[in-house]
Amino acid sequence: MEKLTADVLVIGFGKGGKTAAHALSDAGRRVVLVERSANMYGGTCPNVGCVPTKMLFHYSNGRRVEDDAQEFFAHSIAGVRALTSAFRAGNFASLDGKNTATVITGTARFVDQHTVAVGEGDDLITVTAPTIILSTGSAPVIAPIPGLATSKHLVSSTELTQAATLPERLIVVGGGYLGLEFASIYQHFGTHVTVLEGAERLLPREDEDIAGTVREILEGDGVRIITGAKITEVEDSGAVAKVSYEKDGQTHSVEASALLPATGRRPVTDGLRLDAAGVRTTPDGAVQVDEHLRTSRPHIYAVGDVNGGPQFTYVALDDARIVLDQLLGEGKRTTADRVAVPHTLFTTPPLATVGLTEREARARGLNIKVASEKVADIVAMPRAYTVEETRGMMKFVVDADTDLILGAALLSIDAQEVVNTVALAIRHDITATELRNSIYTHPSSTEAFNEVFGKASVGTGDEEVPADADRRPGRPAAEGPAGP
């Protein structure tokens, strides 16, 4: 048995954990990071999340009609594997190569509030540290549908991004961010995709006009979308799985060679033995933290998906900043400081949102103006025509009394970039008029501001607000990709 001591122990190689580990090591602290899988150095994002999925998003949109779907997909997967392997090796070397940092591969389990054990028997290693950071991420949830978990056709998002064979038919269970991203990607590769969503419409947190346009675009690309579908059973039948569902009082079925569950993710705490450390969890299994990300043991912090916050890589990064401010700074930074956090659904084109929707603003009784326009009609945005992607729309919610921007939904080419400018404007009280009258490069998507903000109107505001809507200005709902 080997005994190690450190100033800081980090459990999990995710974005938050590795960011904190690098900064603390550079500050002269002795850091030990434990990661249970050699395939996950760097965390979910570069290995099985953001990087491979967005690379496949890029590849899928480059496929030509004359390209053989199977060969093109296999070539794309090879490119993904090469990049993720390089990132994984780079993540390991950049941290383990530091004089004050050590990476251990294995599953950590708490012995007491300051010590974890890794491995068994002669390979047992114990690590003791006065400060511990949990960064173990999240894992997919498989809905309790009879036959789903045991189906031999069940595939995870990880398996889809690593398999070199393109499924002929794919059923996506769930029409949230992850489900719609994979539906869009694989339909463009040539798979016949069906999305089964239990809600009566897609993206129920978004305004009807935005959600409706997303659906129109996906169906225009060939994705079959069935909303209001209650799945009752999954049965394997040779080379396919048969999924039965109820809709409008009738029973239907659809078959596919692959089933992707996309019904959410849960914090990963299995095997950690948090009880041995006295670390409390919430009813949904997340590690309980305060606004400084301290657990019930003040010397133990939790960052990223494991603490139950929004499941975005960039939120995990901000979590690391909060913890580092506790350990190296003034200790003032908190989760309450986050304003106007944007997020993006990577369909083609992408949907990027930030702040309040129109119906949320009206539900609060705010006096608002709504500026919206279809991308195809935005004269000031020739960028959309130069890249031959004119589908979608841009929508802004503006406070009619102050001219401040309350929220935006951008369904357009470059939306994932443009939304960051809007978020910055919200954080720093830049008015809609200032964005409308600013000078932007040409041709660019940002110059659409010059036109769209001039389309503001009072609107009708006749949509109902869902019971779970609770987004303050700049605060996204918890739904979203994992990090990716």
Cα distance between residue 280 and residue 289, in whole Å = 9
Task: Write the CA distances from 29 to 6, 7, 115, integer angstroms.
Answer: 8, 6, 17
Domain ranges of the chain: 2-139+266-337, 157-263, 343-455
Indicate the pairing of strand 8-11 with strand 131-134: parallel
Return the pLDDT at 461.
Answer: 45
The annotation status of 480 as a binding-site residue, yes or no, is no
Residue positions annotated with a catalytic role: 442
Cα distance between residue 47 and residue 224, in whole Å = 29
The annotation status of 318 as a binding-site residue, yes or no, is no
Do 157-263 and 343-455 have matching folds?
Answer: no
Residues 6 or more apart in contact with residue 203 via CB below 8 angstroms: 175, 176, 180, 210, 211, 214, 345
Task: Write the CA distances from 213 to 105, 258, 308, 336, integer angstroms.
Answer: 46, 27, 30, 33
The single-letter code of the amino acid at 454 is: G
Return the pLDDT at 121.
Answer: 87
Return the pLDDT at 94.
Answer: 96
Residue 477: pLDDT above 80? no
CATH homologous superfamily of domain 2-139+266-337? Answer: FAD/NAD(P)-binding domain (3.50.50.60)
Length of the chain: 484
Residue 469: pLDDT above 80? no
* Residues paired with 108 in a beta bridge: 118
The annotation status of 332 as a binding-site residue, yes or no, is no
**What tokens were used for 213?**
């346009």
**What tokens were used for 474?**
């700049």
Return the pLDDT at 103.
Answer: 97
The annotation status of 181 as a binding-site residue, yes or no, is yes
Residue 330: pLDDT above 50? yes
Estimate to the nearest angstrom the gap between the alpha carbon of 149 and the chain centroid.
Answer: 23
Residue 479: pLDDT above 80? no
Q: Report which DSSP code applies to 154.
A: B
Cα distance between residue 395 and residue 449, in whole Å = 10
Return the pLDDT at 246.
Answer: 97
Return the pLDDT at 142.
Answer: 94
Mean pLDDT for 65-83 is: 95
Start-to-end CA span in the chain (Å)? 37
117-140 tens-digit pLDDT: 999 988 999 999 999 999 999 999
The annotation status of 305 as a binding-site residue, yes or no, is yes
The annotation status of 198 as a binding-site residue, yes or no, is no
Task: Write the CA distances from 174 to 53, 72, 195, 207, 375, integer angstroms.
Answer: 17, 27, 7, 19, 28
pLDDT > 90: percent of the chain: 91
- Looking at domain 157-263, which of 3.50.50.60, 1.10.3470.10, 3.40.1190.20, 3.60.21.10 is its CATH number? 3.50.50.60
| Residue 463: pLDDT band with limits 50, 70, 90 | very low
Return the pLDDT at 122.
Answer: 85
Handedness of CA 47, 49, 54, 60 (dihedral sign): positive
Return the pLDDT at 42.
Answer: 93
Task: Write the CA distances from 283 to 119, 274, 287, 288, 307, integer angstroms.
Answer: 29, 14, 10, 9, 12
Q: Contacts for 80-86 with beta carbons within 8 Å, 24 or more apart?
A: 80/51, 80/52, 80/55, 80/56, 80/161, 80/162, 81/162, 83/51, 83/52, 83/55, 84/46, 84/47, 84/48, 84/51, 84/52
Q: Report which DSSP code applies to 239.
A: T
Would you tell me the crossing angle of helices 50-60 and 69-96 to the nearest 10 degrees? 150
CATH of domain 343-455: 3.30.390.30
Question: Beta-carbon neighbour count of residue 400 at 10 Å?
Answer: 13
The single-letter code of the amino acid at 361 is: A
The annotation status of 264 as a binding-site residue, yes or no, is yes
Return the pLDDT at 84.
Answer: 95
The annotation status of 177 as a binding-site residue, yes or no, is yes
Return the pLDDT at 1.
Answer: 82
Residue 457: pLDDT above 80? no
Mean pLDDT for 438-452 is: 97
The annotation status of 174 as a binding-site residue, yes or no, is yes
* Residues paired with 302 in a beta bridge: 134
The single-letter code of the amino acid at 384 is: A
Task: Write the CA distances from 10 to 94, 355, 458, integer angstroms.
Answer: 15, 33, 51
Q: Mean pLDDT lowest for which of 34-38, 345-349, 455-459?
A: 455-459
Return the pLDDT at 144.
Answer: 95
For the whole model, what pTM was predicted?
0.91
The annotation status of 460 as a binding-site residue, yes or no, is no
- Taking a C-beta distance cutoff of 8 angstroms, is the pair 12, 35 a contact? yes
The annotation status of 54 as a binding-site residue, yes or no, is yes
For the chain, give the mean pLDDT.
93
342-373 tens-digit pLDDT: 999 999 999 999 999 999 999 999 999 999 99
148-171 tens-digit pLDDT: 999 999 999 999 999 999 999 999
| Residue 458: pLDDT band with limits 50, 70, 90 | low
387-429 tens-digit pLDDT: 999 999 999 999 999 999 999 999 999 999 999 999 999 999 9
